[in-house]
Amino acid sequence: MGKENICFLSVWIILGKIFATFSSDPELITVFVTGTPPPTPPGWITDFTDIVSKFSLRTVDIPDDDMCYIVTGSPETVKECEFNPQTQTFIIIHGWTVTGMFESWVPKLVSALYEREPSANVIVVDWLTRANQHYPTSAAYTKLVGRDVAKFVTWIQKELQLPWERIHLLGYSLGAHVAGVAGDLTDHKISRITGLDPAGPTFEHADNQNTLSKEDAQFVDVLHTNTRGSPDRSIGIQRAVGHIDIYPNGGTFQPGCDIQNTLMGIALEGIKGLQNMDQLVKCSHERSIHLYIDSLLNTQRQTMAYRCNSRETFNKGIWATTSTRSAPPAAPRCTSRPVK
């Protein structure tokens, strides 16, 4: 058997394992996610004994490694990590993971945030042990991880008297719903939550307590990049959940993410290409992160989002324009604004 055949056989074996995680009974999964949230007895938010998630303050010099952890309830760790209370704080929350390790986009987003806000604090939430489970299990864990994040944010805000308007949560996939749960549980409105293609399976019809919603922060902006398929079966959530919901390229599927091109790229890389095998599933899903990174870095050439009355209006090309970049024909029923 040739190397190419071995490579493709390995790809399909691993693919089978990935797709199997989404093949569970949808009724069973829905019970996990939409069930009653964990109880919140008096004083729960100051009880740090059950926190499992870890909070790493990453640096501009070493964006790809966890060099210093801030431990909830331990003020000395704030000083050790050289947290700056006078500036903006970004909290990045990853999603479900096949490998149990941070994906390559994490340090890229960390670096982009530091390039946009050099004096900021960029914290990465590590809930890998819970995110590396069968998908329904990890989806159910978003409620507990959201509690961890809510406790951390509430504690560090009170400990350092941080202005709430300087706290910004960014969540990808399941991490977007973690951010939503956290925002719902804090005793004060978080300034902003950015949802990067919030996960769809089991969340499409869930209530606001269990998903990201516009009630979770003063401003919730959402990028939808992988909504192809029937509701609750698409990888990204289809319905609008924020104050502003942006659907790049219609939001269903992204250019360059077709199976043929992705498989060819994997085959050309040989054994090393297997590390990127999951791009077959998450290419369009992860595009939300890279579009957001682009909006942070390319401030002189901002991507434009066009507001339309409906998906049908968009599909017909009836958009308005105030943009100088490949602007479509003007129409009175739509408006545009930079994506930031």
* Catalytic annotation, residues: 173, 197, 285
Pairwise CA distance, residues 120 & 282, whole Å: 29
Q: What is the DSSP letter of 186?
A: S
Two structure tokens written together for 138: 């990890």
CB 117 within 8 A of CB 144: no
Two structure tokens written together for 314: 């968009």
Encode burial over 1-32: b for 16+ CB neighbours within 10 A, e otherwise.
Answer: eeeeeebeeebeeeeeeeeebbebeeeebbeb
Sheet (strand 217-223) strand order: 54-58, 121-126, 89-93, 167-172, 190-196, 217-223, 244-246
Two structure tokens written together for 209: 């307590």
CB 180 within 8 A of CB 242: no
Pairwise CA distance, residues 241 & 252, whole Å: 16
Report the DSSP beta bridge partners of residue 245.
222
CB 87 within 8 A of CB 120: yes
CB 340 within 8 A of CB 298: no
